[in-house]
Amino acid sequence: MDERVVQGERFGFELFDFKCSTDNRKQRLAMSKLLNMGAQNQVKDCTLRGLLDFEKATPVPIDEVEPWTNIVKRFVTGAMTYGSISYKTYTALAAEY
């Protein structure tokens, strides 16, 4: 892989910085396929999900699953931080609820 494409710490989006500077459509398509393959492999190594091995299991019976109405009650504005939403959004939500 081109040294210009991957440098430093990997976050999974470095490949998208690389631009193919050709007007040849076939070359652009080939480069696009290579970048997509590389991005998929790279993201796999850069995400928690990509580092886990999942095993097949029997599904949980639906009557043992917590209803969504109970789950959404835990998503309250007090649990949201200024890092995840803007101050303006936070204050608007807090005033609403």
CA 12/CA 40 separation, integer angstroms: 8
Averages of pLDDT over runs of 10 residues in the chain (97 residues) are 51 56 72 70 71 89 93 72 76 75
pLDDT given at position 61: 95
DSSP 66-88: PPHHHHGGG--GGG--TTTS-HH
- The one-character DSSP state at 5 is T
Domain map of the chain by residue range?
1-55, 62-96
Report the C-alpha dihedral over residues 37, 38, 41, 47, rounded to 10 degrees.
-120
20 alpha-carbon distance from chain centroid: 24
pLDDT given at position 67: 93
